[in-house]
Amino acid sequence: MSTYATETALVKDERGFGMVEILVSMLLLGIVAIAFLPLLIQGLKVSQLNTTTATATQLVNQQADGALATPQNCDAFVEFMGRPLVSVTDPRGVVLTPHITGTTTCPTVYPATVSIRVYVTNPSGSVVAETTALILLQKAHA
């Protein structure tokens, strides 16, 4: 057998990837995948937190808009402050409870502004979202 034929036979036998190369590449791919796993987990946690925060912010905005849409008299404002607030469950199943604090007594001089604080808490009592608004009252009665 000639030298050329032997070299050609060796080249034909070594075409493609061998088992060792495949195992090494799989090992490297596995190491890279494991390195990215904490990033994936952290991304999922942040996404879940953002879902709750977005729902709470929307709830705060709804309550604040309701206060601003109230007729500009003290009777309507006191009635608004006394109404019951309904808890909301976000897409993750977290129950969010809205709260409104502020004065429920009418000012003595009109026009006047009253300050309210609207906030939403989660089941552990932590505030998830909040805002403060000033409400203009033009008169005491409708």
Total-model pTM: 0.74
Task: Enumerate residue ranges in the chain where pLDDT < 70.
Answer: 1-15
In the block, tokens 């991304």 appear at 43
Task: Provide the pLDDT for residue 137.
Answer: 94
Q: How far apart are CA 31 and CA 18, in angstroms?
A: 20
Q: Is residue 72 part of a domain?
A: yes
Range of the domain at 27: 3-137
Q: Is residue 104 part of a domain?
A: yes
Q: Is residue 34 part of a domain?
A: yes
Q: How far apart are CA 114 and CA 80, in angstroms?
A: 13
Q: Is residue 18 part of a domain?
A: yes
Q: Is residue 40 part of a domain?
A: yes
Task: Provide the pLDDT for residue 19.
Answer: 87
Q: Is residue 116 part of a domain?
A: yes
Q: Is residue 61 part of a domain?
A: yes
Task: Provide the pLDDT for residue 89.
Answer: 96
- Please count the structural domains in the chain: 1
Q: Is residue 142 part of a domain?
A: no
Instruction: Give first-to-last CA distance, the chain, whole Å.
Output: 112
Task: Provide the pLDDT for residue 93.
Answer: 94
